[in-house]
Amino acid sequence: AALYEEGDADAAALLAARDIARVEIAGWPESMPRPHAPLSGFTVLALGGLLDMVGDAEREPLRLGGHQGSYPAGLAAFTALMAQLAAKGVPPARVSLVEALLWVNWKAASGAHADGKAPTRDGARSEFQVVPCADGHVALVYGVTQFDAVAKLVGDARLNDPRFATRPERRRLITEIYAVLRPWCAARTRAEIYAAAQARGIPFGTVVTPFELLDDPQMVDRGFIVDMAGLKMPRLPVLWNGAGFAPAPLVEERAP
C-alpha cells in the first residue's frame, strides 16, 4: 500500500502500473455528498448512530471511549488487503469510516426495520448496565435467554416473579430488576462477581483500569503487553502463524 497526495498524477500512474495491494480509507461513503466542514471522529460517531446508544436520553450524547470509528475501518481495510494479497485480480478497495460504523451498529438499522423503533439511549432504563460493586464497577451483560441463569446466580426470589418471564416485560420492569441486582453487586468484589458468573456461562464483565490491564493474567499469558524501550504497550492484535508483531522503537540515524 502507498500514500500519495490527491492530484499527484505521477504517483497515481505508478500505483496503477504496479501489481500491489491498494486500500483507500475515507470518511464518507463514495455516494454521499462531501460536507462543507471537515469530517471529525466525533461526527463520524454521530453519523454512524453510535452517539444514540450511550448515556441518558435527557442529556446530550456521550462520546464512546477510544477510536471506535477507526477500529472497524482498520479491520475492514486489513481484510481487503489480505484478499488482494491472497488472490490475483482483486480490485483496489475503498473503506468508509461512516459505513464501517454502520456495519458495527447493524442492530440499530435492523431493529428499526423489524420493530419500527431503533434502540436508543435508555440510561437508567437500559437492559444492560454498568453498576457499582465492592471494589469498582461491573458490566451486567448477558444473553437474552440467560435471565433464568442470572436469577439463579443472584439467588433472590424476587427475580422469579412471573412478570419477568418474557423479555419485553423485563425491559418494561427493568428498574425493579436492578433494584435487586444493584445491592447484590454492591456486596461483592469484581473478582467474585466475575468468577461466579463465568461458572454459569454468564458474560458479566469487570471494569478494569489501564494499570490493571498491564498485569492482567490473560494479557500476560498471551504476551499481549510488550516492552518497547522500557515502555509497556499492547502489540498488534493479529497473529501470523501463531506469532504476534510487537512494535519496535525508532532508531535514529547518526552521521558517520
pLDDT digits (tens, 9 = 90+) for 51-108: 887 778 788 887 777 778 888 888 899 888 888 888 877 788 888 888 888 888 887 7
The pLDDT of residue 4: 43
Angle at 94 between CA 46 and CA 69, to 5 degrees: 25
Phi, psi of 245 (to 5 degrees): -110, 115
The cell numbers describing 31, all together, are 455516494
Tell which residue, 47, 46, 1, 41, has the closest CA to residue 20: 1
Confirm if 121 and 57 have CB atoms less than 8 A apart: yes
- Number of H-type helices and E-type strands within the chain: 11, 9
Phi, psi of 217 (to 5 degrees): -55, -40
Q: For residue 30, is pLDDT > 50? A: yes
Lowest mean pLDDT across 31-40, 92-101, 122-131, 164-173: 31-40
Confirm if 101 and 119 have CB atoms less than 8 A apart: no
State the virtual CA torsion across 233, 71, 202, 176 in degrees, nearest 10: 110
| Band of residue 18 on the pLDDT scale cut at 50, 70, 90 | low
Confirm if 113 and 104 have CB atoms less than 8 A apart: no
Residue 95 β-bridge partners: 25
Strands (E), 32-104: 93-96
Please tell me which residue, 227 or 137, carries the higher pLDDT value: 137
pTM of the model: 0.67
